[in-house]
């Protein structure tokens, strides 16, 4: 079994702001594109246009509708990928050492040449962040775009994970959690970021900023609530839209 290295001073990871993620899947597409063309074996798609398509994705976005007691339901978009846990169980169960955690920056990777596709790491991961590439027969996972962040041939603004670079709302942040003065560390402290499923004891490096309640419909507005203003009689474009919708 693979041993975890001593805790590193440098801990690279992501902060994901669920309050402003709009579920556009730009992070999913950019991740798929970069990791298909660059690091490791391409991310394959099986029967992509058939009845039972199966594909490998290192980042997925799940969307939920949350019911509120004192307001309308609210949509929450939840991006999920490898959390690069400090005590990563996917590493310690690997029988060949293919799954490992880097001592220099804490990134969890897979040596695809040593991977036998047994699936033990996927079984051990409580977050479902591992994916078997059926075409290659090896396990795939988020690499934090390790081939981008250290690539000095790229412009400085591109030396970040593809998902962070492509996010249109700025909901994803990348940096060193081992540095208390880094932007991600300060963001975690200011917004009281949380771990995903802390009861698992995996100590994930990636953090989440919780969504705030939006668009309350209350008789008495409270501090911080923003109530939508609706005109009694729509005018201009809204008037045209109102009539067009009536015909549907």
Domain span holding position 185: 12-209
Tokens of 233: 């009689």
In a domain, 102, yes or no: yes
Q: Is residue 231 part of a domain?
A: no
pLDDT bracket for residue 237 (50, 70, 90): very low
The C-alpha atoms of residue 185 and residue 104 are separated, in whole angstroms, by 18
**Confidence (pLDDT) at 36:** 86
> What are the tens digits of pLDDT across the range 163-190?
999 999 999 999 999 999 999 999 999 9
Phi, psi of 116 (to 5 degrees): -105, 5
| Assigned domain for 83 exists | yes
228 assigned to some structural domain = no
Please state, for a pLDDT cut of 70, what percent of the chain lies above it.
85
| pTM of the predicted protein model | 0.81
As a whole number, the mean pLDDT across the chain is: 86
Which CA distances in Å does 247 have to 88, 235, 243?
A: 56, 18, 7
For residue 202, the model assigns a pLDDT of 96
Give yes or no for residue 51 having a pLDDT over 80: yes
Of 125 and 71, the one with more pLDDT: 125
- The answer to which of 32-36, 115-119, 163-167, 238-242 has the lowest mean pLDDT is 238-242
Inform me whether the pLDDT recorded for 221 exceeds 60.
no
CA 129, CA 171: separation in Å to the nearest integer?
20
Question: Is a pLDDT exceeding 80 seen at residue 241?
Answer: no
- How many domains, in total, are found in the chain? 1
Q: Which CATH number characterizes residue 117's domain?
A: 3.30.70.20
């Amino acid at each position: 079994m693979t041993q975890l290295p001593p805790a590193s001073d440098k801990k690279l990871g992501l902060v994901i702001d669920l309050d402003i993620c709009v579920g556009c899947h730009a992070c999913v597409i950019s991740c798929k594109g970069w990791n298909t063309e660059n690091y490791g074996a391409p991310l394959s798609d099986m029967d992509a246009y058939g009845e039972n398509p199966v594909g490998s994705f290192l980042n997925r976005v799940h969307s939920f509708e949350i019911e509120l007691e004192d307001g309308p339901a609210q949509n929450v978009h939840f991006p999920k990928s490898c959390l690069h846990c400090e005590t990563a169980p996917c590493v310690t169960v690997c029988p060949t050492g293919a799954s490992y955690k880097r001592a220099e920056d804490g990134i969890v990777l897979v040596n695809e040449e040593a991977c036998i596709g047994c699936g033990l790491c996927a079984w051990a991961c409580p977050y479902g962040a591992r994916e078997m590439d059926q075409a290659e027969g090896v396990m795939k996972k988020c690499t934090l775009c390790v081939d981008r962040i250290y690539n000095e041939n790229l412009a400085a603004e591109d030396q970040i994970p593809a998902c962070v670079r492509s996010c249109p709302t700025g909901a994803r942040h990348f940096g060193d959690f081992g540095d208390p003065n880094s932007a991600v560390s300060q963001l975690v402290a200011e917004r009281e970021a949380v771990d995903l499923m802390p009861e698992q004891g995996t100590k994930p490096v990636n953090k989440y900023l919780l969504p705030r309640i939006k668009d309350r419909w209350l008789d008495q507005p409270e501090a911080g609530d923003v109530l939508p203003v609706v005109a009694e009689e729509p005018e201009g474009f809204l008037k045209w839209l109102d009539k067009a919708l009536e015909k549907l």
